[in-house]
Amino acid sequence: MRVAVIQQKNSADLNANLDHSLSLIRQAASQGAELVMLQELHRSLYFCQTEDTSVFDLAESIPGPSTDQLGALAKELGIVIVGSLFEKRATGLYHNTAVVLEKDGSLAGIYRKMHIPDDPGFYEKFYFTPGDADFNNGRSGFSPIPTSVGKLGLLVCWDQWYPEAARLMALAGADLLLYPTAIGWDPNDDQGEQQRQLDAWITIQRAHGVANGLPVLVANRTGFEQSPADESGILFWGNSFVCGPQGEFLAQADSGSEQVLLADIDMQRSESVRRIWPYLRDRRVDAYGDLSKRYRD
């Protein structure tokens, strides 16, 4: 299966951002992509650099205007599209939500980001409530979304650092792990620190692929976005990539440019890899009880 991840620069113009995303999706489909994934919160600038109640005006319902447009395009092109939206679930209740549009234009499912960061420049706890199982008919929040191209194990940005999240998606039958992302550098960090952060980010996600015998798709934004509060900001580091079930790179973008990154995934390879690296067989499920504790004192 040919897949594509979209690495995009964003502006303050919401309509222009979405129109550009739709154009890049068309480009991916014209090159044979059956599954296309956009970056985290692709409709707007990354607004979590500050805490501002007026930003809640950006949120939208699901289904809603963006899923309507993405669904129409998915149906026109006959592809599966993964988007990432600021969801207004109810007044005062908002989520960072990934959406999956099926080839017929229908909403196949959603995933609400489970791990919510709260760090300088990434004040997401102000805006987002952690995900839950409501949309998944009582199943865990870590539930793959069935589609015509496979079961998609969707996780969002900060989720990508947690092996528990990837494992639970794998245990629930995910065929692929997908990470829409918005992560970058503090421009004040020196080059050595920036490289360590980038290497850690790439390594942890490749490791999730290795530990679960699954391909991994990562879509990150690129470009500098200034903070609304001052001259600081985030330099999003791009480097979107696709890797196979042994962590092997199938495609990798650069740090500074917009790209439609294409890769061909052998959907039977996970079966072969899991036969020779049977991690799921050898898990000591009887000995992992302490994983449900915050800390083992």
Tell me 246's DSSP state: T
Tell me the per-residue pLDDT of 72-84, one tens digit each, with 9 for 90 and over.
999 999 999 999 9
Within 10 angstroms of residue 146's Cβ, the number of other Cβ atoms is: 15
User: Average model confidence (pLDDT) for the chain?
Assistant: 96
Check pLDDT > 90 for residue 137: no
pLDDT at 111: 96
Tell me the per-residue pLDDT of 201-237, one tens digit each, with 9 for 90 and over.
999 999 999 999 999 999 999 999 999 989 899 999 9
pLDDT at 135: 55
pLDDT at 132: 82
pTM of the model: 0.96
Q: Among all residues, which ones are annotated catalytic?
A: 40, 113, 157
**pLDDT band, very low/low/confident/very high, at 141 (cuts 50, 70, 90):** confident
Check pLDDT > 60 for residue 136: no
Within 10 angstroms of residue 215's Cβ, the number of other Cβ atoms is: 29
Reading phi first (left if > 0) and then psi (alpha if -120 to 50, else beta), residue 65 is in: alpha
Domains of the chain in sequence order: 2-279 (3.60.110.10)
Please give the helix or strand (H or E) that residue 77 lies within, else none: helix 65-77
pLDDT at 138: 54
Report the pLDDT averaged over residues 158-163: 97
Whole-angstrom Cα distance, residue 68 to residue 214? Answer: 30
Check pLDDT > 80 for residue 179: yes
Tell me 2's DSSP state: E
